[in-house]
Amino acid sequence: MKVISIANQKGGCGKTTTAINLGASLALKGHRVLIIDLDPQSHASFGLGIKTEQLDRSMYNVLTSVDTKRRRLQDIILNIWDKLHLAPGHILLSTIEQELRSEEDAISTIYRAIDLLTASYDFVIIDCPPSLGFLTFNALRASHLLIVPLQCCSLSLMGVGKLINMVELIQLKLQRAPKVKGLVTMYDKRTKYAKHMIQEINMYFKDNIFDTIIRVNITLREAAAHGLPAIKFDKHSAGAKDYAALSEEIIVDARKLFLDNFYQEAEDFMSEMRNKLKIQKFSFMAPEAGNVYVVGDFNHWKADDCSRLEPQPDGIWEKRMALKPGTYKYKFIVDGEWIHDPRNSKSVPNDFGGVDSLLTI
Ligand SMILES: Nc1ncnc2c1ncn2[C@@H]1O[C@H](COP(=O)(O)OP(=O)(O)O)[C@@H](O)[C@H]1O
Ligand SMILES: [Mg+2]
C-alpha cells in the first residue's frame, strides 16, 4: 500500500481536483484506491457525489478523542465504485485541532488507522485542508509521497517553504518523511506568464516535479459540480487525459517514488531546497503611477508581465520574486522612468552615470 498526501496551504491550487481525479484514474486502471477527505469543507466528498452533512460517521469520528464518538477507519468508508472508496470529511473536522492538541500521540492517528488496512488498498490518497495544522501534519506523517499542486500563477511558490519545513520536522521527529513532488496545475499555455512560472517552479523543484502538467480545463470544474471525476463525466476531456497521464506516471515511477530508502532521498532533497530560492518582496510607493516594473540582473533587466508590480490599495506597488541567494543590481521603472530603490541605502554606480540599487540575498 502506498500513501500519497496532496497538500499546499494555498487554497484553490488543485488539491481536491487532484485527489479525486488521480484516485479515479488509478481505480479505473484496476488499483484499489481509498481517498481520505481531511478537509472540513469536504470538497473531495462532494466531488464524488457524497453529501457529508447527512452522514453520521466521517473522518471526524476516526480522529476524535471522545471515546463515545470514535470509530475505526473501516467503519466509516463508503463505496464509490468497486475499486474506489472514500473516507468522507465533515465540517466537525474543523474542531479536531482544539480537541487533540494536548495529545502527543495523536499525531500518528491516521498512520495507525491506515496501517490496519495495508492489505485492502494499493493506494491511499489524502486530500489535505488548506492549512498547515494538525490534520496536514497527521497526513504527512502517514505518507510515502507528498504531491504539492502548484497553480500556474504568481505566488504559487509562496508558502511551499513552510510545507517543506513541516516535512523536515517529521524527518527530525521520526527519522522518516515523505518524498516531495511538485505538480503544475491549471496551466494555460497561451500566457507568457505561465511559461515563466514553469521555469521558476522547475528551478525550485528540479527533478522533483511530475512530467505531467495539468492544463486548465473547465470540465474538471463541471465534473466536480456533478459529483463525478472528469474521467466519468467526459473521458475525452483534457482534464481526464491529464490525470490519466499523472496516474500512469505514478504507476511507472512507483519503484522510484516509493523506494524503501526514499527517506534518505527526501532528506537530501530538503537540505538542497533550504539553500535554494528565497522569496524577495520589492515595493515602491507611487500612488499616481500607471505601471511599475522591477528589473535587474535576476531578470535580464527586462520589463514584462513577470517583472510588473501589483498595485496595492495604499499607493504601494508590490512584487514577490523567488530568487537564488546572491548579489543583484536592480532598478524600478515607473511610467518609463528608471529610478533606484529609495528604501534601499545600498547602491553602486552604473555605466550610465547613475546608480543601481544593490541587493544581497
Ligand atoms: N486544471 C483545472 N482547470 C480548471 N479548473 C480547475 C482545475 N483544477 C481545479 N480547478 C477548479 O479550481 C477550483 C479550486 O480547485 P480545488 O481542487 O478545489 O483546489 P484546492 O483543493 O487546492 O482548494 C475548483 O473549482 C476546481 O474545480
Ligand atoms: Mg480542497
Q: What is the pLDDT of residue 263?
A: 47
pLDDT, average across residues 322-347: 93
The predicted model gives 1-28 an average pLDDT of: 96
Domain 278-360 has CATH 2.30.36.70: no
DSSP strands (E only) in the chain:
2-6, 33-37, 78-79, 84-87, 123-127, 145-151, 179-185, 278-285, 292-296, 310-311, 316-323, 327-334, 337-339, 347-349, 355-360
Query: Cα of 32 to ligand 1 centre, how many Å?
Result: 24
Confidence of residue 202 (pLDDT cuts 50, 70, 90): confident
Question: How many Å lie between the centroid of ligand 2 and the Cα of residue 341?
Answer: 40
Atom of ligand 1 nearest to the CA of 8: 22
Q: Which of 128, 191, 221, 246 most suits a substitution to test ligand 1, by most atoms within 8 Å of the C-beta?
A: 221
Q: Reply yes or no on whether the pLDDT at 348 is more than 50.
A: yes
Res 268: pLDDT: 57
Q: What is the pLDDT of residue 127?
A: 98
Q: Ligand 2 centroid vs 45 CA: distance in angstroms?
A: 10
% pLDDT > 90, the chain: 62
**Superfamily assignment of 2-274 in CATH?**
P-loop containing nucleotide triphosphate hydrolases (3.40.50.300)
The separation between the first and the last C-alpha atoms of the chain, rounded to the nearest angstrom, is: 43
Taking the centre of ligand 1 as the mean of its atom positions, its distance from the CA of residue 12, in whole angstroms, is: 6
pTM reported for the whole predicted model:
0.76
Closest CA to 308 of 299, 322, 319, 298: 319
Q: How far apart are CA 121 and CA 73, in angstroms?
A: 13
Q: Assess contact for 200 and 184: CB atoms under 8 A.
A: no
| Stronger pLDDT, 242 or 320, i.e. the higher one | 242
The lowest-confidence range among 46-60, 90-104, 202-216 is: 90-104
Nearest CA to ligand 1 atom 9: 14
Delimiting residues of CATH 3.40.50.300 domain(s) in the chain? 2-274
The binding-site residues of ligand 1, defined as CB within 6 angstroms of any ligand atom, are 11-17, 43, 130, 185-186, 214, 216-218, 220-221, 224
Q: In angstroms, rounded to a whole number, what is the distance separating the alpha carbons of residues 109 and 113?
A: 6
From-to residues of CATH 2.60.40.10 in the chain: 278-360
Q: What is the mean pLDDT of the chain?
A: 89
Among the ranges 252-266, 284-298, 316-330, which has the highest mean pLDDT value? 284-298
Which residue out of 220, 234, 237, 242 has the highest number of ligand 1 atoms within 8 Å of its CB and is therefore the one to mutate? 220
Per-residue pLDDT, 305: 74
Q: How far is the CA of 282 from the centre of ligand 2 (A)?
A: 31
